[in-house]
């Protein structure tokens, strides 16, 4: 076993060893991304209940843009959460940071399901919803760095791609669970019931999920971080130089994952509201398309992580980024075509999700390999949070506003392809042998 592996305490009735480490790291991500998936899938209903003034009518573009602004605000608090929880994870321990993050996420998500609407308490409703989204942003920012550090440090060299891919796979399961839950409600409930009370059910389901995550993480044990607090573990280097190296690594990490962030949200989260608001698709058809895209995403993540352990992170992630650049517009045109067979449209959204999986599978291990252990939680967490704040959190807001202003139905494809094109030069800087070496 690697000296960086966590020592896990076995207890009666609890999973132990590597299985527990993977489960503890992943379940919190499922809670986080299940909630974000639900919010994206039900964004038109949330807009009507919280951001549409009385008498303004349902589904207005202004309310939708305001709802996505609240969505984006939560993402801009994620870097703050990455710094806060990352420092806890690097100085105190991964376990403490992960327990705090999932506890805060579960509480905030459950509270959304209990929140009075604008019809009940007026303008206070959108303010309270935005406050809860901020709390979710803080907790989500701390979740990624701790979970990826936990899983990649536990995996031996040559298996980190798979270890980190489990984190992304759980993200896919969370998004898929959110899309499927929303789609099931849309099929099972009349539209009026969904708008009135049915939308609360998916948020309240986060409570038992969060309880399981807390139970799994409560039994984790780990050695204290090496080195004295406040140092970056580079012998003989000045503190300013060490911090400068970390900052440069964060900037480079953002460049490498910006395409993943943008394409992921354009294809997996923004798609349902775009199909409804711009193309006039029914809620059921839009949610079904999103579920299929997330299914394709989930199916490709683990194979992409395993492949990156064999051939390296660079070729797999470059293949994903270039494929999005080339195929994003044709795939969206196929989905939008009235005369296209339903099977062809289903294949298009499945493929779109699978392309994102080529980026998300190797991505966590790639980020973990960029930072030394003493700043790994903070460094990779901040890089991921900043990329998501700019390119994921703003995706719905930018796509909806630009589509409304230009009348173009192809904005999601241009957004995803543009970000992936900008990511290619940063991905070309990836070394060929980091996946075989021990973590620093």
Q: Which residue has the tokens 């904005």?
A: 411
Per-residue confidence band for 6, with pLDDT thresholds at 50, 70 and 90: very low
Whole-number mean pLDDT of the chain? 79
Give burial (CB, 10 Å; 0-12/13-18/19+) of 227. Answer: middle
Q: Can you tell me the distance from the alpha carbon of 238 to that of 25, in angstroms, rounded to the nearest whole number?
A: 34
Whole domain around residue 132: which residue ranges?
Answer: 17-221+240-436
Q: Is residue 12 part of a domain?
A: no
Q: Can you tell me the distance from the alpha carbon of 97 to that of 92, in angstroms, rounded to the nearest whole number?
A: 8
pTM of the predicted model, to two decimals? 0.78
Encoded tokens for 80? 């703050």
Q: Is residue 299 part of a domain?
A: yes
Q: Is residue 6 part of a domain?
A: no
Q: Is residue 11 part of a domain?
A: no
Encoded tokens for 273? 């509201």
Q: Can you tell me the distance from the alpha carbon of 199 to that of 301, in angstroms, rounded to the nearest whole number?
A: 29
Q: What is the dihedral of CA 347, 348, 350, 356, to 10 degrees?
A: 150
Q: Can you tell me the distance from the alpha carbon of 253 to that of 18, in angstroms, rounded to the nearest whole number?
A: 27
How many domains would you assign to the chain? 1
Domain CATH code at residue 273: 1.20.1250.20
Q: Is residue 415 part of a domain?
A: yes
Q: Is residue 400 part of a domain?
A: yes
Q: Is the pLDDT of residue 111 over 60?
A: yes
The pLDDT tens digits for 34-90 are 876 777 677 778 878 887 765 454 445 555 666 666 666 777 888 899 999 988 888
Q: Is residue 7 part of a domain?
A: no
CB 41 within 8 Å of CB 290: yes
Q: Is residue 8 part of a domain?
A: no
The pLDDT tens digits for 162-221 are 888 988 898 788 877 887 888 788 888 887 888 888 888 988 988 888 888 888 787 776
């Amino acid at each position: 076993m690697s000296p960086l592996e966590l020592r896990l305490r076995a207890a009666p009735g609890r999973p132990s060893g590597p299985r527990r480490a993977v489960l503890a790291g992943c379940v919190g991500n499922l809670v986080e991304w299940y909630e974000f998936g639900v919010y994206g899938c039900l964004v038109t209903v949330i807009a009507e209940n919280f951001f549409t003034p009385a008498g303004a009518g349902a589904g207005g573009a202004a309310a939708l843009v305001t709802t996505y602004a609240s969505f984006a605000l939560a993402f801009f608090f994620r870097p703050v959460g990455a710094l806060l929880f990352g420092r806890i994870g690097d100085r105190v321990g991964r376990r403490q940071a992960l327990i705090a993050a999932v506890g805060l996420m579960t509480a905030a998500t459950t509270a959304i399901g209990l929140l009075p609407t604008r019809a009940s308490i007026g303008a206070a409703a959108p303010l309270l919803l935005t406050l809860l989204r901020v709390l979710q942003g803080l907790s989500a920012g701390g979740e990624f760095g701790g979970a990826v550090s936990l899983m990649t440090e536990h995996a031996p060299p040559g298996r980190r791609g798979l270890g980190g891919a489990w984190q992304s796979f759980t993200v896919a399961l969370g998004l898929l669970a959110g899309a499927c839950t929303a789609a099931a409600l849309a099929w099972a409930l009349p539209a009026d019931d969904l708008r009135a009370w049915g939308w609360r059910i998916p948020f309240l389901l986060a409570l038992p999920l969060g309880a399981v995550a807390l139970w799994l993480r409560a039994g984790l044990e780990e050695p204290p971080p090496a080195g004295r607090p406040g140092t970056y573990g580079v012998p003989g280097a000045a503190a300013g130089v060490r911090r400068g190296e970390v900052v440069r690594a964060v900037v480079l990490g953002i460049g490498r994952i910006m395409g993943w962030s943008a394409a992921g949200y354009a294809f997996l989260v923004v798609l349902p509201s775009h199909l409804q608001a711009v193309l006039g698709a029914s809620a059921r058809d839009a949610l079904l398309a999103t579920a299929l895209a997330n299914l394709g995403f989930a199916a490709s993540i683990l194979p992409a992580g395993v492949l990156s352990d064999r051939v390296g992170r660079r070729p797999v992630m470059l293949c994903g980024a270039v494929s999005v650049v080339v195929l994003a517009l044709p795939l969206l045109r196929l989905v939008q075509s009235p005369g296209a067979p339903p099977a062809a449209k289903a294949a298009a959204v499945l493929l779109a999700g699978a392309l994102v999986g080529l980026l998300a599978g190797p991505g966590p291990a790639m980020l973990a390999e960029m930072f030394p252990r003493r700043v790994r939680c903070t460094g990779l967490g901040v890089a991921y949070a900043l990329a998501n704040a700019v390119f994921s959190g703003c995706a719905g807001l930018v796509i909806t506003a630009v589509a409304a202003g230009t009348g173009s139905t192809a904005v999601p494809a241009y957004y995803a392809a543009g970000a992936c094109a900008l990511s290619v030069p940063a991905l070309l800087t990836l070394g060929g042998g980091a996946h075989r070496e021990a973590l620093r």
